[in-house]
Structure 1
Amino acid sequence: MADILPNMTKLAQDAPPHPFYPLEANIVGYLANEWSVPKLLGVFFAGCAVELGITLLIVNRFNPTLRKGDKAALLWFVVSGTIHVFFEGYFAFNHATMPAMQDPFGQMWKEYAYSDSRYMTSDAFVLCMETSTAIFWGPLSYTVALMITTQHPLRYPLQALVSLGQIYGDVLYYATSLFDHYFNKTTYFRPEAYYFWAYYFFLNFIWIVIPGILLVKSIRATARAFQALETQSAAQQTNGGSKKRN
């Protein structure tokens, strides 16, 4: 026991300092961000604005009569798909070297990791969740956007599937982190309230609120379709019976 304590102290002294919690987390190769938070946010929102602008131009050309609500849903799936495929896919591909990354995506992830250091340690759950999200929900989000543009009949079933998957992943994300916080006494977010409420809670809660609304709309649209089908089928049976009697 006497030999173990000095060794542990030496390891702690040799470990590179980092700003993430828990402070004893093993984060290899950490480099502080070179860009400021306003610059990172500016790049992110500028990219989103360009993408949404181009999307609107394309949609207005191919389906100018598309309703505003459908356009809003379409834009959501385009942005969501891009974040899933490129941003979350970036993490899945670079998770092992994330602490040292200095490109815009890498610095964005390091900034977000102030609210969840699991993104700096290749946490098994976070890595598997982000990888599956990039592979499945990303491409399917683009598919839903295309189906909304073309008013494809499979739009609502697929919209429900993607929305439910996003909600499910978000719930598990919250649950695993908060379970460790309250049960295992392991906290992954810094003590400043901003990182918990603005980054961890708010940014992820978006993927519960909007998918929740779209899921409800999908269920209602599906119910109306089945109701119309049953009404039509009943009317045909009634008309068929009347003709036979005549």
Structure 2
Amino acid sequence: MSHPYYPTTLDIPNYVPNQRSTLQLLVTAGVMMTCLMAACITTGTTFSKKTTSVSRFTWFCVSGILHLGFESYWLWHRHTLAGQSDLLAELWKEYAHGDSRYLSADELLLTLEVMTVFVWGPLCILTGWFILRGSNKQYFFQLVASLCHIFSCSLYFLMDLPQAVHCDPSPIYFYIYFIAFNSPWIIVPLMLVYQSYQHIDEAFKTKTKIQ
């Protein structure tokens, strides 16, 4: 059966078009993300006496839940995703306009997603927990988790750039779906790496002075 993805020669067995419109899917995704962020912010605010940063706690919790939930769904359903019509499947099929590798079970992409689900996801949740508790360990785990995000997201981009043959040529799909939806996991981690370095460096300086 023909499909709307690129390259047009890509084989997508048992493909079934989405029943929900693009607008419906984007609005639904927006509402879900808003509710998730609100829940994380509320949790961080509730424990504000110990939480070092509600914004950082929210970032790592949202990232962890997306890795363990949304991306885990793709991992378990990648072979049948194209023929499914449930909400999460249709969200993935909509995103696949920006990267059709998600409908072809690409092996390199699979490797990245396995690391994301089984390592990055739990690491984000653990980092969020340390931030919530105001633990001194938070900056070490924040550094590690942020470097993991920078590594995986950079590799993700490099795997398909500069040709972007798996992306619909429409600027909306390239610049919004492929670039904008993924770039936060490079931009924010870069800032967090710098912050972690400052805190760890300061801790070493303080320890040296004491000694």
TM-score, with structure 2 as normaliser: 0.95
How much has 1:45 moved relative to structure 2?
2.2
- Give the structure with the higher percent helix: 1
The residue type equivalent to 2:57 in the other structure is L
From 30, 46, 51, the equivalent of 1:61 is: 46
Q: Structure 1 CA distance, aligned partners of 2:50 and 2:155?
A: 39
Q: Structure 2 CA distance, aligned partners of 1:200 and 1:226?
A: 40
Choose 30-39 or 161-170, whichever is displaced more.
Answer: 30-39
Q: Percent same amino acid among aligned pairs?
A: 28
How much has 1:66 moved relative to structure 2?
4.0
Root-mean-square deviation (Å):
1.5
From 33, 37, 58, the equivalent of 1:48 is: 33
Superposed, which structure 2 residues align to 1:206-217 within 5 Å? Answer: 206-217=184-195
CA offset digits 1:101-153 (Å, max 9, x no partner)? 21111111111111111111110011111121011111111111111111111
Partner of 1:133: 116
Aligned partner of residue 96 in structure 1, secondary structure: coil
CA offset digits 1:63-122 (Å, max 9, x no partner)? 34645xx11111111111111111111111111111112111111111111111111111
Does residue 167 (structure 1) correspond to residue 150 (structure 2)? The answer is yes
Aligned partner of residue 224 in structure 1, secondary structure: helix
The residue type equivalent to 1:29 in the other structure is N
Kept after mapping to 1: 8 A contact 2:50/2:132: no
Q: How many residues align?
A: 211
The structure showing larger relative contact order (alpha-carbon pairs under 8 Å, at least 6 residues apart) is 2
Superposed, which structure 2 residues align to 1:69-84 within 5 Å? Answer: 70-84=53-67
Kept after mapping to 1: 8 A contact 2:44/2:57: no
Superposed, which structure 2 residues align to 1:197-236 within 5 Å? Answer: 197-233=175-211
Residue ranges of structure 1 left out of the alignment (5+ in a row): 1-15, 234-246
Q: Which runs of 4+ in 1 moved over 6 A?
A: none
Residue ranges of structure 2 left out of the alignment (5+ in a row): none
